[in-house]
Amino acid sequence: MESLPELVGTVHIILGPYRGNPIALYMRQDESICQISPRIYPWNRTVGIGDSPNRAAADFEKRWKEAGLADEMYTGPHWEGGIKPEKPKPPPKPAAPKPATENSATEKPVASSPPTTPPKVDDPSTEKTPAS
């Protein structure tokens, strides 16, 4: 049995100095799929699909941004209720290459650096002489 559409948010389209009326976003949830879309032409072509309302909301946002509207024409969907679009996790960073720990046959040993303190010089004026 199909579920009835449920209001889950709105989108505002801004054309020049005028802010249009809000466009309602409805969710239809079937057995394991959620679909979020507006019900007004020509915006009804954008449909977010996911296995949960939050994933469907994130998919709708991604598709809405790809629909050809400039960033200044809208502020994004305004979600009602408790829907928070669930963004996919970023891919893990590639592992850094491990430095070689063994010396290869072609490598030469590195000489140590010279000392940074000056050598000690004997000063005859500071030496103690035996008392006569």
- On whether residue 119 sits in a domain, the answer given is no
Rounded to whole angstroms, the Cα distance separating 114 from 66 reads 63
Residues 121 and 127 sit within 8 Å (Cβ to Cβ): no
* Per-residue pLDDT at 128: 61
- On whether residue 121 sits in a domain, the answer given is no
Burial code of 90-129, b = ≥16 C-beta within 10 A, e = fewer? Answer: eeeeeeeeeeeeeeeeeeeeeeeeeeeeeeeeeeeeeeee
30 against 19, higher pLDDT: 30
* Per-residue pLDDT at 58: 87
Q: What average pLDDT does range 104-113 have in this prediction?
A: 62
Q: What's the structural domain count of the chain? A: 1
Q: Which domain holds residue 68?
A: 6-79
Closest CA to 13 of 64, 82, 81, 85: 64
- On whether residue 60 sits in a domain, the answer given is yes
Rounded to whole angstroms, the Cα distance separating 56 from 99 reads 44
For the entire predicted model, the pTM comes to 0.57
The CA-CA-CA angle for residues 63, 64, 70, to 5°, reads 125
- On whether residue 68 sits in a domain, the answer given is yes
Q: What average pLDDT does range 86-103 have in this prediction?
A: 74
8 against 108, higher pLDDT: 8
- On whether residue 35 sits in a domain, the answer given is yes
